Amino acid sequence: MLTFFYGNLHSLFPKRLLATWSGPLLKAPYSSPPPPLLLDRLLVESLGLPLESAASICEKLGTDGKVPGDVERAGSVLGFLKSCGYDEARLAKLIAKRPSLLLSDVESTLGPQMRFLRESGVSDSVLLSAMAVNPAVFNKSVDSFLGPQIDFLKKYLRSADAFDTAIRRNLWLLTANHRRNLGPNIELLMSEGVSVDDISLLMIRQPRALMLKVDRIASIVESVKRLGFEPGSMKFVKAVRVMSSMNESTWHGKVEFFKSLGWCQEDVVSMFMRYPRFLTVSEDKVRRVVELISREDIVFHPLSLTYSIDKRLRPRHNVIKVLLSEGLLEKDRRIINLFKLSDEVFLQNYVMRHLDLVPHLMDIFRGSVTL
């Protein structure tokens, strides 16, 4: 229409007159509306993303970012997440990892899910971590999944602190379908006499053990029983925890390593029976401990492998060495028992007591005098 109108002006007015009045006559009577905000531009302005990154997110969503509904929904999601405590940097990482969150419905899904999880005892800090680490939790229905999942977990995590700690340590507990592995594994362990309290500890300290395939846990339970652990005992649970943390090849590799240092297979089994977690000690640490404690003593007390070398083992080793050389300690005494003592008792009975005869013993204990 405007083209027709201005075309007629050229035919009606002389060129000189038109040139004189072309400014006012050609000026639009109103300002043009701003172009609609595109999704990539929203991400750039809201999160400080480079345009290329924003465009990549739009591509992953399968949208060109021009659909007004998508832009409006994404704006609502970003506003909601910021109100929950997400800063731009964390929010940018979250959206880059799970772009589909942008198309969530705050009113019908995201908001109710957050509200339900908060009311269920999941702290805000855990919720923020869950979004970053396991955002799949916000794809779950409150009625058909999250509700039953929380109810199941609280059967074993009976206190607020236990529940919060378990979820904080393993956010996948919120989305690990309890009907698939979690529930059957717990039933298996409880059928072997494992108590609810021990199941709770297992959920808190090593929940991934409960998420293994059921046949894998069943195999571990049988192996632990064959070794001689009493089903249902605390050591039985600890042995299951350790064995579930490694595959069969890793287990055999650990055994071969200890055999390479001079222990036989029976020694390794004996140590495992006494303290299953000794197999989790690093090889470097084991080599350093062997320099200070005899292999026989370690078999008798494998917990010694976990002691601090600089704060406990070496200072006491040096004191014991001096006391033996001065004839102040019986040579046939089981030395490992001295490493088991509390710091206060060892200092009083084996350092302070002998200062009159060995004045520099305290310096040896503190490491200020080397042997």
Grade residue 129 by pLDDT with cuts at 50, 70 and 90.
confident
Question: What pLDDT digit, counting tens, does each position of 79-111 carry?
Answer: 999 988 888 888 888 888 888 889 889 998 889
Q: Give yes or no for residue 6 having a pLDDT over 80.
A: no
Q: Give yes or no for residue 16 having a pLDDT over 80.
A: no
DSSP 171-227: GGGGTS-IIIIIHHHHHHHHHTT--HHHHHHHHHH-GGGGGS-HHHHHHHHHHHHHH
Distance separating alpha carbons of residues 175 and 13, to the nearest angstrom = 76
Among 3-7, 360-364, 365-369, name the one with the lowest average pLDDT.
Answer: 3-7
Report the pLDDT value the prediction gives residue 64, as an integer from 0 to 100: 58
Q: Residue 217: exposed, middle, or buried by beta-carbon count in 10 A (0-12, 13-18, 19+)?
A: buried
Report the pLDDT value the prediction gives residue 90, as an integer from 0 to 100: 86
Mean per-residue pLDDT of the chain: 87
Q: Give yes or no for residue 18 having a pLDDT over 60.
A: no
What's 143's DSSP letter? I
Neighbours of 327 (CB within 10 A): 9
DSSP 88-123: HHHHHHHHHH-GGGGG--IIIIIHHHHHHHHHTT--
- With beta carbons less than 8 A apart as the criterion, state whether 189 and 169 touch: no
Instruction: Give residue 304's Cα distance to chain centre.
Output: 28
Q: Residue 312: exposed, middle, or buried by beta-carbon count in 10 A (0-12, 13-18, 19+)?
A: middle
Q: What is the pTM of this model?
A: 0.75
How confident is the model over 58-76, as a mean pLDDT? 79
Q: What percent of the chain has pLDDT over 90?
A: 60
SS3 per-residue string spanning 260-327: HCCCCHHHHHHHHHHCHHHHHCCHHHHHHHHCCCCHHHHHHCHHHHHCCHHHHHHHHHHHHHHHHHCC
Among 62-71, 116-125, 165-174, name the one with the lowest average pLDDT.
Answer: 62-71
Q: How many CA atoms lie within 13 A of 351 on its CB side?
A: 21
Q: How far apart are the first and last CA of the chain?
A: 102
- With beta carbons less than 8 A apart as the criterion, state whether 77 and 106 touch: yes
Question: What pLDDT digit, counting tens, does each position of 204-224 carry?
Answer: 998 889 999 999 999 999 999
Distance separating alpha carbons of residues 104 and 76, to the nearest angstrom = 9
Per domain, the residue ranges of the chain are 309-366
- With beta carbons less than 8 A apart as the criterion, state whether 334 and 327 touch: no
Question: What pLDDT digit, counting tens, does each position of 27-40 carry?
Answer: 444 444 444 458 88
Question: What pLDDT digit, counting tens, does each position of 268-279 carry?
Answer: 999 999 999 999
Report the pLDDT value the prediction gives residue 24, as an integer from 0 to 100: 42
Grade residue 22 by pLDDT with cuts at 50, 70 and 90.
very low
What's 369's DSSP letter? S
Report the pLDDT value the prediction gives residue 3, as an integer from 0 to 100: 42
Distance separating alpha carbons of residues 145 and 116, to the nearest angstrom = 12
**SS3 of 356, please?**
coil
Report the pLDDT value the prediction gives residue 369, as an integer from 0 to 100: 79
Distance separating alpha carbons of residues 89 and 247, to the nearest angstrom = 38
Q: Give yes or no for residue 296 having a pLDDT over 90.
A: yes
Cα–Cα separations (whole angstroms), residue 350 to 131, 220, 313, 355, 359: 55, 44, 14, 9, 13
How confident is the model over 111-129, as a mean pLDDT? 88
Neighbours of 17 (CB within 10 A): 10
Task: Find, among 234, 241, 290, the residue nearest to 267 by Cα.
Answer: 290
Q: Give yes or no for residue 264 having a pLDDT over 60.
A: yes
Question: What pLDDT digit, counting tens, does each position of 179-205 carry?
Answer: 999 999 999 999 999 999 999 999 999
- With beta carbons less than 8 A apart as the criterion, state whether 142 and 113 touch: yes
Grade residue 67 by pLDDT with cuts at 50, 70 and 90.
low
Report the pLDDT value the prediction gives residue 251, as an integer from 0 to 100: 92
Report the pLDDT value the prediction gives residue 333, as an integer from 0 to 100: 84
